[in-house]
């Protein structure tokens, strides 16, 4: 336990992560073995207020403003308790949102959105990857509350980034916390490929297809897109990925499917020739360049 404003907090977080991920420590003082034994940081009671917001929680979502077809879908992969779906609509999109979420305890949150937006929302409680399997996920838990946005199936996450995100969450979003105790909750869930879920779920995708995908999956971007190659080839959606094009193998995979990479500058996407630097990046298909330029979300000046 350490005080929230102790200057050693970041170092203590880093030490805890090192014990878990590097040393393989699974002691009872560090690990919570049952997801049912933690509190979630999202709740169904938050949903109505979230849907009333006029601004997205992340400015990068403004790129979705031009997607106005109510008979098309934007896939929200890594939905958490649903705030990203709200941000897609807050940005100005009118498409149906279809969410995918790995944490089963968030079903009630997503069901609340579905009841409030019955014609614009659907969800699947399923984690996605490159094959059908069982994956072990890890989520940081601070004083019994899971920081679910930082849930990851990666056995080797970037520990400095994870420590920074945990530290930021404690300082910004936990105003009533004084003493800090960090643990890790491990849980397992089944995973499928996006291609399989879509092929086995008639009616999940509306008639005009998939126009965009948002991915916020803490390091599983490559695996999920590898398991969606048929879907990407058929629909050529715009893809927003946390971490941009920096994950190993991701850029090469997307190039093989006809995609180019861009990052947001103000309200437009600007092509990037090398490795991106922004928190979020966008892959756009070469066959959609004219369409995106006419929508005024893509400029062709090169960074």
Q: Calculate mean pLDDT across residues 29-49.
A: 96
Q: What is 49-130+193-294's CATH superfamily?
A: Vaccinia Virus protein VP39 (3.40.50.150)
Query: How high is the pLDDT of residue 218?
Result: 84
Segment 241-248 shows an average pLDDT of 93
* The pLDDT of residue 23: 97
pTM: 0.93
% of the chain at pLDDT higher than 70:
99
pLDDT the model gives residue 143? 97
Averaged pLDDT of the chain? 96
184 within 8 A of 34, measured Cβ to Cβ: no
Domain boundaries, the chain: 2-32+133-190, 49-130+193-294
Instruction: Look at residue 95 and give its three-state secondary structure.
Output: coil
pLDDT at 184: 98
What pLDDT digit, counting tens, does each position of 259-298 carry? 999 999 999 999 999 999 999 999 999 999 999 999 999 9
How far is the CA of 286 from the CAs of 233, 239, 281, in angstroms? 12, 13, 16
* pLDDT(213) > 80: yes
Give the pLDDT mean for 55-81. 97
Q: How confident is the model at residue 303 (pLDDT cuts 50, 70, 90)?
A: low
Q: Which pLDDT tens digit goes with each residue over 158-195?
A: 899 899 999 999 999 999 999 999 999 999 999 999 99
Segment 147-154 mean pLDDT:
91
DSSP string, 146-199: E-GGG-B--SS--HHHHHHHHHHHHHHH-TT--EE-EEEEEEEEEEE-HHHHHH
> Which residues are CB-contacts of 67 (< 8 A; sequence separation ≥ 6)?
74, 93, 94, 95, 211, 212
**Rounded Cα–Cα distance for residues 104 and 127 (Å):** 10
CA distance 251 to 239: 12
């Amino acid at each position: 336990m350490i005080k929230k404003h102790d200057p050693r907090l970041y170092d203590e977080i880093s030490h805890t992560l090192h014990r878990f991920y590097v040393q393989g420590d699974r002691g009872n003082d560090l690990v919570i073995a049952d997801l049912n034994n933690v509190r979630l940081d999202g709740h169904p009671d938050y949903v109505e207020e979230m849907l009333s917001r006029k601004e997205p929680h992340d400015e990068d979502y403004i790129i979705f403003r031009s997607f106005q077809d109510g008979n098309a879908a934007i896939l929200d992969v890594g939905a958490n308790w649903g705030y990203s779906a709200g941000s897609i609509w807050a940005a100005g999109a009118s498409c149906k949102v279809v969410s995918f979420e790995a944490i089963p305890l968030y079903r009630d949150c997503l069901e609340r959105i579905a009841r409030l937006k019955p014609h614009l929302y659907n969800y699947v409680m399923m984690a996605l990857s490159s094959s059908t399997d069982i994956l072990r996920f890890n989520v940081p838990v601070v004083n019994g509350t899971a920081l679910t946005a930082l849930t990851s199936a990666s056995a080797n996450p970037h520990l400095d980034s994870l420590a920074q995100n945990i530290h930021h969450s404690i300082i910004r979003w936990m105003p009533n916390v004084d003493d800090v105790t960090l643990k890790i909750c491990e849980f397992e869930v089944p995973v499928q490929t996006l291609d399989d879920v879509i092929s086995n779920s008639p009616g999940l995708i509306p008639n005009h297809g998939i126009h965009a995908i948002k991915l916020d999956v803490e390091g599983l971007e490559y695996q999920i897109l590898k398991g969606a190659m048929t879907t990407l080839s058929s629909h050529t959606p715009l893809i927003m990925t946390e971490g941009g094009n920096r994950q190993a193998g991701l850029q090469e995979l997307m190039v093989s499917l006809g995609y180019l990479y861009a990052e947001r500058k103000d309200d437009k996407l600007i092509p990037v020739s090398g490795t991106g630097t922004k928190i979020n990046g966008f892959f756009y298909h070469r066959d959609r360049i004219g369409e995106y330029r006419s929508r005024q979300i893509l400029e062709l000046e090169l960074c």
